[in-house]
Amino acid sequence: MLNINFSGFTLEAGTDEAGRGCLSGPVVAAAVILPKDFTHPFLNDSKQLSEKKRAELRPIIEAQALAFGVSFVWQEEVDKINVLQASITGMHRAIKMLKITPEFIIVDGNKFREYNKIPHETIVKGDAKYMSIAAASVLAKTYRDEYMEKIHQEFPMYNWAKNKGYPTKEHRNGIREFGATKYHRKTFKLLPEQIKLKL
């Protein structure tokens, strides 16, 4: 069972991101403030949930959250500032989108930069421990997956509808055969053998 609160503050925001390890597409971050009495039987770290369960949870989280925000950091910016900075920048932007200012921020992982002097705590595997981080992980993942399914229509040869831009064998074979697209992260090692890519 996940914990509802870490800090004791009523307005505690949880934040998380999706897509850090991908070869293509954006890093997507979300921030969520849940009501104190929020509960859901299968809310968990989005990686532990099926696509169907994540899709069921998203409208429930959006309807019941006191506030939520979702931000996209596009691949060009990921290349410019590096993926860790992109994750933190995305989380800051998602927090900024909240219609209520949080009193405390809990962050999945172990890296964060202070945001607007609001106290925060980083929590390793926080998405499997606290409901607001789990809720943020579900929003970040579903919004990102939806986007990857959309751009799959443009470049079906990489099968992003299935692999969502992660470095699967199929995705890498697509890069090997067709080169990189405008959606690929140019600073990432797209192929293990580092051959010259058609960019």
| pTM metric for this prediction | 0.94
**Domains of the chain with CATH codes:** 12-150 (3.30.420.10)
Cα dihedral sign, 65-141-85-109: positive
Digit-coded pLDDT (tens) for 63-99: 999 999 999 999 999 999 999 999 999 999 999 999 9
Average pLDDT over residues 113-117: 97
Task: Report the pLDDT value the prediction gives residue 48, as an integer from 0 to 100.
Answer: 87
The dihedral formed by the CA atoms of 72, 181, 83 and 91, expressed in degrees to the nearest 10: 0
Residues 135-154 pLDDT 10s: 999 999 999 999 999 999 99
Determine how β-strand 12-18 pairs with β-strand 67-73. unpaired
Angle CA(198)–CA(148)–CA(81) in degrees, nearest 5? 65
Burial class (CB in 10 A: 0-12, 13-18, 19+), 118: middle
Task: Give residue-wise pLDDT tens across range 161-186.
Answer: 999 999 999 999 999 999 999 999 99
